[in-house]
Structure formats: structure tokens, C-alpha cells
Amino acid sequence: MVDLLLLAEAAHEAGEHAEATAFGLAPPWWVALSMVALIGLMIYMKVPSIVAGMLDKKIAGIREMFDEAATLRAEAEALRKEYADKVANVEKDAAAMLEHARSEAEAIVAKAKTDSANVIARREKIAEDMIAAAERAAVEELRVRAADAAAAAARQLIGSNHSAQADKALVDKAIADI
């Protein structure tokens, strides 16, 4: 220690600025020594394994997130495909329904045409039957009128051509015939 003090005085007298040392080590050596001690203490306390464990946990969490994201993406793709298939099926069903509706409409129009033709034919038949019935009624009425007219004419002729004695002779003859 005495040597250090002599050395410090000699340096001071020489005008040089001497650094302070403790136990013969300059300050940079003390800083290096304290860093080595700190690193040694950290290794002894297993700080690197704790930090590595924390980093591993963080990495595992990130991996889980990536796996979950991949799973969600796969599910989303499956749903997208499912809905795309459903849309395609709906479009096919809509086209089939439209075609079915068109065919039904054509069938309805064809049935309406045949039904209207049948109704027209039936009404024509009814009209013809009504005309025939009217003709028969007119003919019957003419027959009745003709018979009435003939009977009236016969009464008039018989009344003017027969007398009471001629009628008596006719009645007697009719009775005799019976």
C-alpha cells in the first residue's frame, strides 16, 4: 500500500494525472469484474432458463394462436365452400322450379284451350238442342192450331151441312153399330 501512495505522489509530482485504483485494479477492471459477477449470479439464479421458459411459453402461445387461426381459416373455407355449394344448389333448384312453372303454365294454357273448346262445343250443342226444341214446339203449336182450325172448320161445315134430322140419323147409325 505504501508503494501505491508513493507511486501516486510521484505521478502527482510529475504532473501526470494518475488514476485511482483499489486493490491494484483500475476502474475499467472493476466494471468488468462486476459484470462477470452479475453474469455469474444470473447463471447461478438460473435467470437464463427462466427467460428461456418465458420465451418458450410465449412461443407456445403464439403457436397456439397460429394453430387456432389455421383451424379457423380451414373452418371458414369449409363454410365458404358449403355456402357456395348451397348457392349453386339453390340456383339449380330455382332453375328447376322455373322450368316446372313454365311447363305447368303451358299445361294450364293447353287445358284452358281444350276446356274452352269443350265449353264452346257444349254451348253450341245446347243452342242447337234449344233451337230444335223451339222448332218442335213451333211445329207442335202449328199442329195444335191446325187441328183447332180444322176442328172449327169441321164444326162449321158440319153445322152448316147437317141438320138436326141428319144428326139424329148419324147418331142412330152409330148406336146401331155398337
Specify the pLDDT at position 72: 94
Q: Label residue 10 by pLDDT band (50, 70, 90).
A: low
Q: Label residue 11 by pLDDT band (50, 70, 90).
A: low
Coil, strand or helix at 1: coil
Specify the pLDDT at position 2: 47
Is residue 144 situated within a structural domain?
no
Q: Which residues pair with 25 in a beta bridge?
A: 22
Q: Is the dihedral of CA 119, 125, 131, 136 positive or negative?
A: negative
On whether the CB atoms of residues 48 and 42 are closer than 8 A, the answer is: yes
Is residue 74 situated within a structural domain?
no
More confident residue, 111 or 23: 111
104: left (phi over 0), alpha (psi -120 to 50) or beta: alpha
Is residue 96 situated within a structural domain?
no
More confident residue, 139 or 16: 139
Is residue 135 situated within a structural domain?
no
- pLDDT of 80-109, one tens digit each? 999 999 998 998 899 899 999 999 999 999
Which range of residues forms the domain containing residue 19?
1-35
Rg, Å, the chain Cα set: 69
Is residue 8 situated within a structural domain?
yes
- pLDDT of 136-161, one tens digit each? 998 998 888 888 888 888 788 777 77
Q: How many domains does the chain have?
A: 1
Helices in 45-163 by DSSP H: which ranges? Answer: 47-161
- pLDDT of 47-82, one tens digit each? 888 889 999 999 999 999 999 999 999 999 999 999
User: Which helix (H) or strand (E) covers residue 27, if one does?
Assistant: helix 27-44
Coil, strand or helix at 22: strand
Q: What Cα–Cα distance (Å) separates residue 153 from each residue in 31, 143, 147?
A: 167, 15, 10
Is residue 30 situated within a structural domain?
yes
Helices 47-161, 27-44: crossing angle, 10 deg rounding:
50
Is residue 25 situated within a structural domain?
yes
Specify the pLDDT at position 13: 60
Per the confidence metrics, is the pTM higher than 0.95?
A: no
Is residue 141 situated within a structural domain?
no
Q: Which is nearest to 23 in space by CA: 15, 33, 14?
A: 33
